[in-house]
Amino acid sequence: MEKVFLNIIGCSADSISNEALKSLITSINCNAIIMNDSDAIPEKLEKEDIKAIVVDEYIINQGQIVYAEELFKNYTYKVPIIFLLEVLNEKQGHHPYKQYFRKPINAKTLQNYLSPYLAIKEVVKVNTIKIGNFSFDKTLNILVDKNENIIDLTPLESKLLLTFFENLNKVLNEEFLLKNVWGYSAQANSNTIKTHIWRLRKKISKKSKANFDLETSNKGYVLKNKDTAL
């Protein structure tokens, strides 16, 4: 692979994690700038050509350990920032320069996400599922149509859609979804499922030429392919 050595900031409250971030960033042929205190990140962004920021769940700011996501709540820099979290949830929502991954993250996932920003010529093939004119990227949580229009999905929406893709044209009841998507989480119930189905259906329906439908039946929910061939 061609070496690019572009600058990526890595930051964690833990020294061992900082070493892991350094190795991870270096493995995609980028220069790892490890910041022990995140308070210095804004100045580094102003003075140097930084292509991305990768932060652990907890980082140090002005000598105190803080939750990274809360610190960057009002993030305004046009540089992608990646949060490595133990648990992903709906509250994270969508932001054009913020992305969330469950840790540990591997080099392939990091490179695939950052490749548009880093102009890396050789990109590792992503894990996608194709149905008609759509491609579902399981790594980046996005749905892409034939015109390269992107539908961003939350981690739970992505997991839900993946479950439907794996059971195309099959009716899935709430018991099945609770087990395979939410893992019988205490926060999951019938209303939670209905809400996520509604959100997912709304995102899919934005594309008028979508060739699959997410339908509700008296026995559950089914993703139907309108085409006769996959």
For 162-219, what is each residue's pLDDT tens digit? 888 888 889 999 889 988 888 766 666 788 888 888 888 888 776 545 567 888 888 8
Strand order in the sheet with 134-137: 128-131, 134-137, 142-144, 150-152
pLDDT at 142 (0 to 100): 76
Q: Average model confidence (pLDDT) for the chain?
A: 82
pLDDT at 203 (0 to 100): 81
0.75 exceeded by pTM = no
Domain 6-118 in CATH 3.40.50.2300? The answer is yes
For 85-96, what is each residue's pLDDT tens digit? 998 876 666 777
Q: CB-based contacts of 168: which residues, under 8 Å, 6+ apart? A: 131, 212, 223, 224, 225, 230
Tell me how crowded residue 198 is: count the other CB atoms within 10 A of its CB.
12
Fold equal for 6-118 and 128-225: no
pLDDT at 206 (0 to 100): 60
Alpha carbons 65 and 99: distance in angstroms, whole number = 21
Alpha carbons 84 and 113: distance in angstroms, whole number = 13
Domain ranges of the chain: 6-118, 128-225
For 121-143, what is each residue's pLDDT tens digit? 444 445 677 766 677 777 667 77
Q: How far is CA 46 from CA 41, 82, 162, in A?
A: 9, 19, 40
Pairing of strands 128-131, 220-225: unpaired
Alpha carbons 9 and 32: distance in angstroms, whole number = 6
CATH class of domain segment(s) 128-225 = mainly alpha
